């Protein structure tokens, strides 16, 4: 079974996280550890009208566990805990900068640091535009450390018809990066 940490920070785009959670939780071979920052939940409520608890009630709970953002005693905070990968979706520039600097002020930052030090895949769905030189330098630092920087850039060759189609084109790329490719993904032919 693959164990994936999904972290949600306070950038706009919580719908990306929700679509990823829905698709990961449909897979019997995946267990999801979810960490949501306070601002991540606040943006989620603003954008979707639902709290984390309301979203979780619609997902299969057998392969999903919610962890408290402040719980640095969580098993996820240790490199000895078997995790296969981590996705921060959406990822604020503040979270990205903290991870690039090696900070561990909360469980998201600590998990990202552990993921990097253990040489496990770390995927950051960075949500910001335009980007400053500081943002770009932090992204380069993380890329050099082994992270994948995956901004939510839609593919239009698939002729999206809805916002969900556009969101799913990014989620498809995240799943590809996790080596959990979806057979329904529209590919360039």
Domain CATH for 116: 3.40.50.1950
79 part of a folded domain? yes
Q: Tell me the average pLDDT across 37-61.
A: 94
Q: Tell me the average pLDDT across 9-23.
A: 97
Cα angle 158, 136, 170 (rounded to 5 degrees) comes to 20
155 part of a folded domain? yes
189 part of a folded domain? no
Q: Is 189 a residue whose pLDDT tops 80?
A: no
Q: What would the pLDDT profile of 65-97 be if each residue is shown by its tens digit?
A: 999 999 999 999 999 999 999 999 999 999 999
Confidence of residue 49 (pLDDT cuts 50, 70, 90): very high
Q: What is the structure's pLDDT at 166? A: 95
63 part of a folded domain? yes
Q: What is the structure's pLDDT at 56? A: 93
70 part of a folded domain? yes
Q: Give me the percent of the chain exceeding a pLDDT of 90.
A: 90
Cα angle 53, 154, 15 (rounded to 5 degrees) comes to 10
What range defines the domain where residue 35 resides?
2-177
Q: What is the structure's pLDDT at 89? A: 98
Q: What is the structure's pLDDT at 94? A: 98
Give buried/exposed letters for 15-50 (b at 16+ CB in 10 A, else e): bbbbbbbebbbebeebbbbbbbbebbbebbeeeeee
> For the chain, what is the domain count?
1
Q: What is the structure's pLDDT at 120? A: 98
pTM: 0.96
Report DSSP state, residue 131: P
Q: What would the pLDDT profile of 132-179 be if each residue is shown by its tens digit?
A: 999 999 999 999 999 999 999 988 988 999 999 999 999 999 999 999
Q: Is 23 a residue whose pLDDT tops 90?
A: yes
48 part of a folded domain? yes
16 part of a folded domain? yes
Looking at per-residue confidence, does 34 or 154 come out higher?
Answer: 34
57 part of a folded domain? yes
> How many other CB atoms sit within 10 Å of the CB of residue 140?
12
Helix (H) or strand (E) holding 38: helix 38-48
Q: What would the pLDDT profile of 96-122 be if each residue is shown by its tens digit?
A: 999 999 999 999 999 999 999 999 999
Q: What is the structure's pLDDT at 158? A: 87
Q: Tell me the average pLDDT across 10-18.
A: 97
């Amino acid at each position: 079974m693959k164990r994936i940490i999904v972290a949600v920070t306070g950038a706009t785009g919580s719908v990306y996280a929700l679509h990823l959670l829905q698709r990961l939780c449909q897979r019997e071979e995946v267990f999801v550890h979810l960490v949501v920052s306070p601002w991540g939940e606040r943006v989620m409520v603003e954008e979707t009208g639902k709290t984390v608890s309301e979203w979780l009630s619609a997902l299969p709970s057998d392969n999903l566990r919610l962890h408290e953002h402040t719980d640095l005693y969580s098993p996820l905070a240790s490199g000895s805990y078997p995790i296969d990968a981590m996705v921060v979706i959406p990822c604020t520039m503040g979270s990205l900068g903290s991870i690039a600097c090696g900070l561990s002020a909360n469980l998201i930052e600590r998990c990202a640091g552990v993921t990097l030090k253990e040489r496990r895949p770390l995927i950051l769905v960075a949500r910001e535009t335009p980007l400053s030189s500081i943002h770009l330098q932090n992204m380069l630092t993380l890329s050099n450390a082994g992270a994948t920087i995956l901004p939510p850039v839609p593919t239009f060759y698939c002729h999206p018809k809805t916002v969900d189609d556009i969101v799913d084109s990014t989620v498809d790329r995240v799943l590809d990066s996790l080596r959990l490719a979806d057979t329904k993904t529209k590919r360039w032919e």
